[in-house]
A and B are shown apart, each in its own frame.
Chain A
Amino acid sequence: MAELLEIRWHGRGGQGAKTAALLLGEAVSASGKYIQAFPEYGPERMGAPVLAFNRISEEPIRLHCQVLNPAIVVVLDATLLEATDVTAGVPEDGLYIINTNLSPEEMREQLGITGGKVYTLDATQIAIDTIGRDIPNTPMMGALIRTTGLLTIDEFVSNTRERLEAKFRPDIVEKNIQAIERAYQEVQGEE
């Protein structure tokens, strides 16, 4: 239990925060680690703020309480920054990945934090270019893999491809994989 990594996903209903947490959980599980992936179930509506969580560890995870102090925060929709405090409970050295066209420096200012790391990615643009719709969850996963090194991009892509193939047409799968790979290249850290 010494090394327990906790991730909080902020999204809006319909953006795929829950799916992202589940896909990440499955991919990390396939690498042999122990995982949890779960959403916070409230009244679910398109566009309403939603949360999803991951726990990742080398050891079996027995905790069944809420994640309150995530080391990693992924924000699928930057307009949430006005509605919720995405920094709540996050330790000083927390890592943020935000879907925005702003630079990490500009985003740091908006978050009002001094420590930790801030990464930004225009996941919405990538989603529109590749998938054709504003579903930013898969590109944000690509950014997460790049910035955390949880898995190699090849491991992640091959596992996620398999999961997506079970549910979607081949062309949809390819577009999502393109989105992940482009996000992996384009995510920006601070200078």
Chain B
Amino acid sequence: MSRRVAITGNEAAAEAMRQINPDVVAAYPITPATEIVQIFADFVANGDVDTEFVAVESEHSAMSATIGASAAGARAMTATASQGLALMWEMLYIAAGLRLPIVAPIVNRALSAPINIHCDHSDTMGARDSGWIQIYSEDAQEAYDNIIQAVRIAEHPDIKLPCMVTMDGFIVSHGMGNAELLDDDVVQKFIGEYKPEHYLLDVDNPITVGALDFSDWYFEHRRQLADAHTRVKDVVLQIAKEFKEISGREYKLFDAYRLDDAEVAIVVINSAAGTAKTVVDQLREKGLKVGLLKIRLFRPFPYEEISEALAGVKAVAVLDRADSLSLMGGPLYIDLRAAMYDAPGPRVKMVNYIYGLGGRDINMEQIAGVYDDLFEIAKTGEIKQAVTYLGVRE
């Protein structure tokens, strides 16, 4: 029997971690992810989990200790946000390069300077090339579901990659909403026992971890990392199918919302997708053929499936809650344009809106305005401005 609760994103993430009951959690608190660590530390103190909790002195150490535990053969997790993720930077690449199936909830927050504690996606977008799988979540329910699925995805024998599951800082992490939580034994049965193939504490089969790897083999190992990523999509879909059996909730590589017959569409990540879906419903009631595509799996990027889903659309607006400073738009837009380059049929017109940096609100009126722009582009075939900063004082 699942439980219907009113819960914040951070509470949901901590609850998922309690049910996963990892062997080791090493973490350092940072706003807005602090509560995940704080609540989980309570679970440890109260004996609700068997986890060895390692209180460290920085996020760099948090990721280092998590890597050590994972290499030793433990199911290991951490959680962080923003500057904390930035401080983990060099260790993120090591976790991926060592093929360690660490799962980490990340609460999206802007990067300094200027200092800001609120939501944007600069932190995880900065980690997009690190070799971690990235799964994004619209609300507390998705964050909870994705964290549980991430354990299976990361540990899958065909994959063995670390996986970060993100949610929007404050908007979701501190906002209470409804969610259905699974029973502890259902989650335990779903994730199963972790049986690492190679690990340091397997004294009968000694291995070296983190060896020097020069021009003789480094390239092959990095090539294997890319090869593992090619298998992620299938595993994500397989795990989603199994997850539906225990939860009734359906997940795919992305969420195509009223997209089938859409003339224009918005592509967006995380909580703004919820607001945009509400706008889609309102515009559909007026007879306007609008749709939405919400990214779930961002790394690896399911470019073939996404370009196929958008192929019939006349104009697409990509909403980025991060800037790349390439001056060609945000990171999602750049990837999506590349994906659409080889899409079948006539070239889809694409524009980019960079919004919501540092927690700036994006409301329904602004999103409706983006759809207006798209209809104009679809009608005239003309793009007046490819990259727009939405909701900023110029």
Q: Which residues of A contact B (CB under 8 A)?
A: 1, 21-22, 25-26, 29-30, 34-39, 41, 60-66, 68
> Once the chains bind, are A39 and B174 in contact (CB under 8 Å)?
yes
Which residue among A1, A26, A41, A64 has the maximum number of chain B CB atoms within 10 Å of its CB? Answer: A64
> Once the chains bind, are B176 and A36 in contact (CB under 8 Å)?
yes
Separation of A171 and B245 alpha carbons in the complex (Å): 45
> Once the chains bind, are A66 and B363 in contact (CB under 8 Å)?
yes
16 A-B pairs with CB atoms under 8 Å apart are A26-B6, A26-B176, A29-B4, A35-B176, A36-B177, A38-B170, A38-B171, A39-B174, A41-B117, A41-B174, A62-B138, A62-B139, A62-B274, A62-B275, A64-B138, A64-B271
Q: What 1/0 mask marks residues of chain B from 157 to 178 whose CB sits below 8 Å from any chain A CB? A: 0000000000010111011111
Within 8 A of A (CB), among B237-278: 271-272, 274-275, 277-278
3 pairs of A and B residues whose beta carbons are closest in the complex: A62-B274, A29-B6, A38-B175
User: Does B207 sit at the interface, judged by CB under 8 A?
Assistant: no
Which residue among A39, A63, A68 has the maximum number of chain B CB atoms within 10 Å of its CB? Answer: A63
Interface of A (DSSP majority class): mixed
Residues of B close to A65: CB separation below 8 A: 275, 361-364
Separation of A62 and B278 alpha carbons in the complex (Å): 7
> Once the chains bind, are B178 and A64 in contact (CB under 8 Å)?
no
Q: Closest Cβ of chain A: how far from B312's Cβ, in Å?
A: 25
User: Does B23 sit at the interface, judged by CB under 8 A?
Assistant: no
Residues of B close to A34: CB separation below 8 A: 177-178
> Once the chains bind, are B178 and A60 in contact (CB under 8 Å)?
yes
Residues of B close to A26: CB separation below 8 A: 6, 176
Separation of A21 and B171 alpha carbons in the complex (Å): 15
Among B5, B174, B274, point to the contact of A38 (Cβ < 8 A). Answer: B174
Separation of A65 and B362 alpha carbons in the complex (Å): 6
Separation of A66 and B271 alpha carbons in the complex (Å): 12
Among A21, A35, A66, point to the contact of B177 (Cβ < 8 A). Answer: A35
Separation of A174 and B256 alpha carbons in the complex (Å): 50
> Once the chains bind, are A36 and B175 in contact (CB under 8 Å)?
yes
Separation of A26 and B176 alpha carbons in the complex (Å): 9
Which residue among B171, B277, B278 has the maximum number of chain A CB atoms within 10 Å of its CB? Answer: B278
> Once the chains bind, are A22 and B176 in contact (CB under 8 Å)?
yes
Residues of A close to B362: CB separation below 8 A: 65
Contacts A1-B278, A29-B5, A35-B178; A41 near B170 (Cβ below 8 A): yes
Q: How many residues of B contact A (CB 8 A)?
A: 27
Among B4, B274, B281, point to the contact of A64 (Cβ < 8 A). Answer: B274
Residues of A close to B275: CB separation below 8 A: 62-65
Within 8 A of A (CB), among B346-394: 361-364
User: Does B118 sit at the interface, judged by CB under 8 A?
Assistant: yes
> Once the chains bind, are A64 and B172 in contact (CB under 8 Å)?
yes
Separation of A96 and B172 alpha carbons in the complex (Å): 28
> Once the chains bind, are A64 and B171 in contact (CB under 8 Å)?
yes
> Once the chains bind, are B174 and A63 in contact (CB under 8 Å)?
no
Separation of A25 and B171 alpha carbons in the complex (Å): 16
> Once the chains bind, are A37 and B281 in contact (CB under 8 Å)?
no
Separation of A38 and B361 alpha carbons in the complex (Å): 14
> Once the chains bind, are A63 and B178 in contact (CB under 8 Å)?
no
Separation of A21 and B6 alpha carbons in the complex (Å): 12
> Once the chains bind, are A68 and B363 in contact (CB under 8 Å)?
yes
Known: A62-B138, A63-B364. 15 other contacts (CB 8 A): A25-B6, A29-B4, A34-B177, A35-B177, A38-B176, A39-B174, A41-B174, A61-B178, A62-B139, A62-B274, A62-B275, A62-B278, A63-B278, A64-B138, A64-B172
Q: Closest Cβ of chain B: how far from A140's Cβ, in Å?
A: 18
Separation of A63 and B177 alpha carbons in the complex (Å): 11
Separation of A61 and B278 alpha carbons in the complex (Å): 9
Residues of B close to A37: CB separation below 8 A: 6, 175-176
Q: Closest Cβ of chain B: how far from A106's Cβ, in Å?
A: 35
Residues of B close to A29: CB separation below 8 A: 4-6, 178
Among A30, A36, A41, A63, point to the contact of B118 (Cβ < 8 A). Answer: A41
Which residue among B168, B176, B272, B364 has the maximum number of chain A CB atoms within 10 Å of its CB? Answer: B176
